[in-house]
């Protein structure tokens, strides 16, 4: 996490106010050492068990960050042809790429097969048929796991629950065995394992344990039918501490809870996203105006909901820190963006010093689903991204220009 030294807020050994001056704002800023530590924690938790840690690149697909993780030995969890493309460009070994998603198109399936990815996490009977047909056409056998929806209901925002009955994800628990028996009949399909991803920002281990127990029952029945499941993939979902009073389980706690459910010879795959990159990245913004309106104080910043949509979309909480601490009295303030929508806020009713105009704030823990979900809404060019490594900084994405807004128009 960023920390204060004296009155200045730092990431690693670099003052955030210096980053703001050098790269302008708003800018996403990442700590390299935090990314490495977060990933290494998963590797350590896996220990000597055979398996893969596949970074869910939907959380953050910056090429430099992907390359860093690929170099550390990560695999990739992808959800579109575009993500597979990015991962290949970032030097991920294709044999460590897994591919989930309810709506894989024929073009994407063919691209994935030709790229020789590790396996598809198949989400429906219809998708199984499509993959089998395309695999036959191009004469490349498709390796698969089924994504099973185990019907558990973790305590998280309803928009990001994926393993509950009635959501669009995976094959319902009750139909799992039927799916494996169907796949066994397909000539162009090789069954490798079983997958489940129950949702995101989950802080209770119990939901994962419950899902694992249900998956284990399916594994038993499927294997009794002569189908060997070499890999068990638990997806991602481990939450992070956005608020001081939240307590996130460590990868070690999560993984050591799941290991005993399965035989020792099972290979594991995990697909963490948020728990690797969220607290390694932050959004550095400038206060354009401070104003009092209708008896309320507002800090209006140069970042809007187009740059970080999580507060708008999920009423997500991100702690906001001043980049320079002052002795000014703290006041209850809304931190908002410049977009023409009332839902354009970064934080409401925050106790903050009433930072001067031109001063900077840090919206913390924004490395996951931050830049990745940004858009050009209100014709606002996409932001710059900077990686901090010790006392050095490196631009890893240029700030887009007005001309870029028109790039693909004809
Ligand atoms: C299939 C799959 N795997 C992994 C993830 C990563 O989840 P998280 O960022 O919560 O770790 C997601 C996103 O929720 C997903 O859909
Ligand atoms: N975008 C969500 C998480 C979605 C998880 C993807 N399956 C968030 O910011 O919290």
Is the omega angle on the peptide bond into residue 385 within 30 degrees of 0, that is, cis? no
From ligand 1's centre to the CA of 59, what distance in Å?
Answer: 8
**Angle 108-112-116 from CA coordinates, rounded to 5°:** 170
Q: Is 272 annotated as a binding residue?
A: yes
% residues pLDDT > 90 (the chain):
91
pLDDT at 163 > cutoff 90: no
Can you list the domains of the chain with their CATH numbers?
A: 3-30+279-406 (2.40.37.10), 32-276 (3.20.20.10)
Residue 372 structure tokens: 């990745």
For residue 94, say whether it is annotated as part of any ligand binding site. Answer: no
Band (282; pLDDT cuts 50, 70, 90): very high
Point out the least confidently predicted range of 106-120, 255-269, 310-324: 255-269
Phi, psi of 148 (to 5 degrees): -100, 135
Return the HEC string of the chain: CCEEECCEEEECCEEHHHHHHHHCCCEEEEEHHHHHHHHHHHHHHHCCCCEEEEEECCCCCCHHHHHHHHHCCCEEEECCHHHHHHHHHCCCCHHHEEECCCCCCHHHHHHHHHCCCCEEEECCHHHHHHHHHHHHHHCCCEEEEEEEECCCCCCCCHHHECCCCCCCCCEEHHHHHHHHHHHHCCCCEEEEEEECCCECCECCHHHHHHHHHHHHHHHHHHHHCCCCCCEEECCCCECCCCCCCCCCCCHHHHHHHHHHHCCCCCEEEECCCHHHHHHHEEEEEEEEEEEEECCEEEEEECCCCCCCCHHHHHCCCCCEEECECCCCCEEEEEEECCCCCCCCEEEEEEEEECCCCCCEEEECCCCCCCHHHCCCCCCCCCCEEEEEECCEEEEEECCCCHHHHHCCCC
pLDDT digits (tens, 9 = 90+) for 7-31: 999 999 999 999 999 999 999 999 9
Alpha carbon nearest to ligand 2 atom 9, residue: 369
Choose the catalytic residue: 54, 87, 340, 365: 340
State the CB neighbour count (10 A cutoff) for residue 35.
Answer: 23
| Ligand 1, atom 3: closest residue by C-alpha | 235
Best of 160, 163, 164 for a ligand 2 pocket test (most atoms within 8 Å of beta carbon): 160
Q: Among the atoms of ligand 1, which is closest to the Cα of residue 202?
A: 10
Average pLDDT over residues 253-269: 92
Strand partners, 119: 98
What residues contact residue 94 under an 8 Å CB cut-off, 6+ apart? 88, 115, 116, 117, 118
How are beta strands 75-78 and 171-172 bridged, if at all? unpaired
Cα 58 to averaged position of ligand 1 atoms, centre (Å) = 8
57 counts as catalytic: no
Residue 59: CB within 6 Å of ligand 1? Answer: yes
Assigned token pair, 99: 């591919």
pLDDT category at 1 given cuts 50, 70, 90 is confident
Atom of ligand 2 nearest to the CA of 201: 10
Task: Please determine, for residue 85, whether its predicted confidence score (pLDDT) is greater than 90.
Answer: yes
Q: Kindly state if the Cβ of 101 falls inside 6 Å of ligand 1.
A: no
Q: Mean per-residue pLDDT for 249-275?
A: 94
**Residue 153: alpha-carbon gap to chain centroid:** 20
Strand partners, 194: 146, 232
Q: Report the separation in Å between the CA atom of 239 and the middle of ligand 2, taken as the mean of its atom positions.
A: 11
Q: Whose CA is nearest to atom 5 of ligand 1?
A: 236
């Amino acid at each position: 996490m960023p920390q204060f030294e004296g009155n200045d807020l730092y990431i690693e050994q670099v003052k955030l106010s210096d980053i703001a001056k050098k790269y302008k704002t708003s800018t996403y800023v990442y700590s390299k050492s935090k990314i490495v530590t977060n990933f290494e924690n998963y590797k350590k938790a896996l220990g000597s068990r055979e398996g893969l840690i596949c970074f869910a690149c939907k959380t953050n697909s910056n090429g430099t960050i992907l390359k860093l993780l690929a170099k550390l030995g990560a695999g990739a969890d992808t959800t579109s042809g575009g993500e597979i493309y990015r991962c290949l460009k970032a030097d991920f070994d294709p044999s460590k790429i897994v591919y989930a998603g309810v709506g894989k198109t024929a073009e994407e399936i063919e691209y994935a097969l030709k790229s020789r990815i590790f396996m598809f996490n198949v989400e429906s009977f219809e998708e199984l048929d499509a993959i089998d047909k395309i695999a036959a056409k191009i004469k490349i056998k498709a390796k698969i796991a089924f994504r099973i929806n185990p019907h558990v209901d973790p305590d998280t925002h309803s928009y990001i629950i994926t393993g509950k009955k009635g959501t669009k994800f995976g094959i319902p628990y009750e139909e799992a065995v039927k799916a494996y028996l169907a796949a066994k009949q397909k000539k162009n399909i090789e069954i490798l394992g079983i997958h489940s991803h129950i949702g995101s920002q989950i802080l209770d281990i119990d939901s994962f344990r419950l899902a694992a127990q249900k998956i284990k029952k399916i594994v038993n029945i499927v294997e009794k039918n002569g189908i060997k499941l070499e890999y068990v993939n638990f997806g991602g979902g481990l939450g992070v501490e956005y608020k001081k009073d939240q307590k996130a389980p460590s990868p070690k706690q999560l993984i050591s809870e799941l290991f005993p459910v399965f035989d020792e010879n099972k290979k594991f795959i995990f697909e963490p996203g948020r728990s690797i990159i969220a607290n390694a990245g932050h959004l550095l913004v400038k206060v354009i105006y401070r104003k009092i309106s209708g008896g309320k104080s507002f800090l209006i910043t140069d970042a809007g909901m187009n740059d970080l949509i999580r507060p708008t979309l999920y009423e997500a909480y991100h702690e906001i820190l001043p980049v320079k601490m002052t002795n000014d009295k703290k006041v209850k303030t809304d931190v908002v963006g410049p977009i023409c929508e009332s839902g354009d806020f970064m934080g409401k009713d925050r106790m903050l010093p009433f930072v001067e105009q031109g001063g900077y704030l840090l919206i913390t823990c924004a490395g996951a689903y931050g830049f990745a979900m940004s858009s050009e809404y209100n014709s606002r060019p996409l932001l710059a991204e900077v990686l901090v490594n010790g006392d050095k900084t490196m631009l890893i994405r240029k700030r887009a220009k007005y001309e870029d807004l028109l790039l693909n128009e004809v």
